[in-house]
Chain A
Amino acid sequence: MRGPLFQVEDLHVSVESKEIVKGLNLVVDRGEVHAIMGPNASGKSTLANAIMGHPRYQVTKGRVLFKGADVTALSPDERARRGLFLAFQYPRAIPGVTMVNFLRSALRAVRGSDVPVREFRTMLRETMAMLKIDEDFARRYINDGFSGGEMKRAEVLQMGILQPDMAILDETDSGLDIDALRTVAEGINSLMTEDRGMLVITHYQRILNYVHPGFVHVLFDGRIIKSGGPELAHELEAEGYERITGASVAGEVTL
């Protein structure tokens, strides 16, 4: 028996006792790219953090299934070792720890064994070249003093090194100019294969010009209120969230 790669079942998530995600269902199978679009405060980042197991995001009901196993109670590192990945909207700086040491430690942890130096170097060089990242980048400290664009490239670089089976990209397009967006999107596309799944979480449609989801879901007030094909993204772009959500969306801004 082979179930779906990734499944969220009736997920409820609270932050400091306030329910943010209110019963969300989602199935992502191998070879599929899904997009979740939603206005500000719809629960996008809460969903991403809860899927990865952030201790402050409490799952009060429902579960997350990955490769047929319930991972809801697992630590974030255990989820990562099973092949789950989150590209952060706001990556954290770790001063004093170089990217290269970090990537090597992470790869060792995910593989469960040491990585030969030569293999690692080749991998790093090639992934960095694909993302148009300078070589000296590897010697910088994790996200320390990175520009917004550098941070997002660094997230995709990590994804490229760790080669996860299922990646969640949380607003990876924010803070990128158009050239950087194209490069990052190309990197993401090159990592998408038919045995992997991907969930792109975004406010704006523009990243979907480059990364093409087969499924688009609209998130509003902690629930998916509409699902469809790629045309749904264009519809949102043309008409805004208000039309679909039927509500006044606070904080909505146009590009």
Chain B
Amino acid sequence: MTDRKVTEMMPDAYKWGFHDEARYLFRTERGLSRKVVEEIAGIKEEPQWMRDMRLRALEVFESKAMPSWGPDLSAINLNDMYYYARASERPERDWSEVPDYIRQTFERLGIPEAERKFLAGVGAQYDSETVYHNMREELAKQGVIFADTDTAVREHPDLVQRYFGTVVPPADNKFAALNSAVWSGGSFIYVPEGVQVEIPLQAYFRINAENIGQFERTLIIAEPGSFVHYIEGCTAPIYTTNSLHAAVVEVIVKKGARVRYSTVQNWSTNVYNLVTKRSVAYEDAVVEWVDGNLGSKVTMKYPAIYLMEPGAHGEVLSLSFAGRGQHQDAGAKAVHAAPYTTSVITSKSVSKDGGRASYRGLVRAYRGAKGVRSSVRCDALLLDGDSRSDTYPTMEIDERDVTVSHEASVSKVSEEQLFYLQSRGIDEQEATKMIVNGFVEPIVKELPMEYAVELNRLIELQLEGAIG
């Protein structure tokens, strides 16, 4: 198996770089065109409004230039890519119905086991389509909907049409437009008024094919007083060519509801990860983004919170790890459109072996948004002299009666800290791990225990072989 060898040669021992010899039932031709978009809509037998939206979005995509204000995207070849590939017939509700080789891949990734142990529902997407989707029955009885977004378009058309594209319109940015044109898969979650989903729901995204784009679309609606915690994870094989992941996530959090959205992003280092994530929070609602970026070649992701009514509160915890050849351009946006809204943004980045981590953030307060409080803190840790960290904070404050703070720090693993730990018998590699794990602890501790363990393990893998 040649893919195994490639994995072993990787400096940071990426363990998920294998791929399946998948048998695709259907794949669109290379490149993007009106024909490709219509084919995707046709396969899905979509209603006219969705088909029209896709085509409008394609026009927007074509009219917009590639963003040039951030990381270098020049190596993305949009004409050489496949925009849709399906390897299975339909989302199954039983793992035994999922094609063997796909099921085995998800077993290697530990998904069915995690589902049994500590999740209330799981969706698994393989390239363009969801291959598995299931949720505990008691939640369905309470009216909770957790489906892949394609199924939701068919089974809950009114809900989808009412909210789809309202938080992230196709014209928002070039990659949101691309996603709107060719989206496939993703999660749809609806939590009825007052329902508390105590155990997390999870979706797992796997890219398998070479030169493919994955464009999942996620929509979460939390009715008044409800709660849900949604977790997503992702991996991909290592190829010498680039893949693209351009998701759009829309989260609507109504009065007094709370949504926590956690991501452990671990794409292989040939994936461009260009994601638009945005939430709207109404009166006294709470939105929390916990965003961990360890993988990918380039990530551009700035989870946003629009605080629409008084009492809304948003938090973003962003963690990124940039190793050799990686550029993590991550951050957050908090837009205070109403008085007495609050936001807290905490960003931690670790760079090593020439990796580059940037914090890019926006805090905006509209005129009349009195009593707004926002605090931003970003800390960067550099493990060597070749690595780089940048901070691009933007503040647009049009109201006088606000309290906004911004603190930033860049530090190196200091010789003194290492010496201190080493003087207690701990070797240099272990000491470095301790310092890095300590640095990211405020974010890791916000994840459920299983994910915190996983994240710490990923960080250790990133660090191994890099020291000494």
Instruction: List residues of chain A with CB under 8 Å of any chain B CB.
Output: 52-56, 75-77, 79-81, 85-86, 88, 91-92, 94-97, 101-102, 105-106, 109-110, 141-142, 158, 162
Contact = CB atoms under 8 A, between A and B. Distances in A.
Given A102-B424, A141-B438, 4 more contacts: A76-B422, A80-B425, A97-B438, A101-B434
Interface of B: 414-417, 419-428, 430-431, 434-435, 437-442
A94 B435 contact: yes
Contact of A162 (B420, B421, B425): B425
A106 B442 CA distance: 22
A91 B435 CA distance: 15
A77 B427 contact: yes
B438 A105 contact: no
B428 A97 contact: no
A96 B424 contact: no
Given A55-B415, A105-B434, A96 B423 contact: no
A95 B438 contact: yes
A86 B435 contact: no
B437 A76 contact: no
A92 B441 CA distance: 18
A113 B430 CA distance: 15
A59 B419 CA distance: 16
Contacts of B427: 75, 77, 109
A96 B441 contact: yes
A76 B434 contact: no
B438 A110 contact: no
A119 to B, nearest CB: 17
A110 B422 contact: no
A79 B425 CA distance: 7
A94 B423 CA distance: 14
Contacts of B426: 77, 105-106, 109
B410 to A, nearest CB: 15
Contacts of A96: 437-442
A105 B430 contact: yes
Nearest to A56: B415
B437 A162 contact: no
A136 B411 CA distance: 28
Contacts, number: 81
A91 B425 CA distance: 15
B438 A88 contact: no
Contact of A54 (B419, B425, B439): B419
**Is chain B's binding surface mostly helix, strand, loop or mixed?**
helix
Contacts of B440: 96
Contacts of A54: 419
Given A56-B415, A96-B441, A109-B427, A77 B434 contact: no
B415 A80 contact: no
Contact of A97 (B416, B422, B423, B434): B434
Nearest to A52: B423
Interface centre among B414, B419, B424, B438 (most CB of A within 10 A): B424
Contacts of B423: 52-53, 76-77, 79-80, 85-86, 88
Given A96-B442, A109-B427, A77 B422 contact: yes
A162 B424 contact: yes
A106 B438 CA distance: 15
Contact of A94 (B420, B425, B428, B430): B420
Contact of A109 (B414, B420, B424, B437): B424
16 contacts: A53-B422, A77-B422, A77-B431, A80-B424, A81-B425, A92-B419, A96-B437, A96-B438, A96-B440, A96-B441, A102-B434, A105-B434, A106-B421, A109-B426, A110-B424, A162-B425
A66 B453 CA distance: 39
Nearest to B414: A92
A77 B420 CA distance: 9
A162 B421 CA distance: 13
Contacts of A95: 438-439, 441
B41 to A, nearest CB: 49
B449 to A, nearest CB: 15
Contacts of B441: 95-97
A96 B459 CA distance: 15
A108 to B, nearest CB: 8
Given A75-B428, A105-B430, A94 B422 contact: no
A92 B428 contact: no
A55 B425 contact: no
Contact of B425 (A88, A101, A109): A109
A53 B422 CA distance: 10
Contacts of A141: 438
Contacts of A162: 424-425
Contacts of A94: 417, 420-421, 434-435, 438
A96 B348 CA distance: 12
A52 B420 CA distance: 10
A106 B430 CA distance: 10
A53 to B, nearest CB: 8
Q: Rank and list the top 9 A-B pairs by shortest CB-CB distance, nearest first.
A: A96-B438, A96-B441, A109-B425, A97-B438, A80-B425, A106-B424, A76-B422, A110-B425, A92-B420
Contacts of B428: 75, 77
Contacts of B430: 105, 109
Nearest to A77: B422
A55 B419 contact: yes
A208 to B, nearest CB: 24
Nearest to B416: A92
B343 to A, nearest CB: 23
B419 A97 contact: no
A141 B426 CA distance: 17
Contacts of A88: 420, 423
A25 B415 CA distance: 28
B307 to A, nearest CB: 29
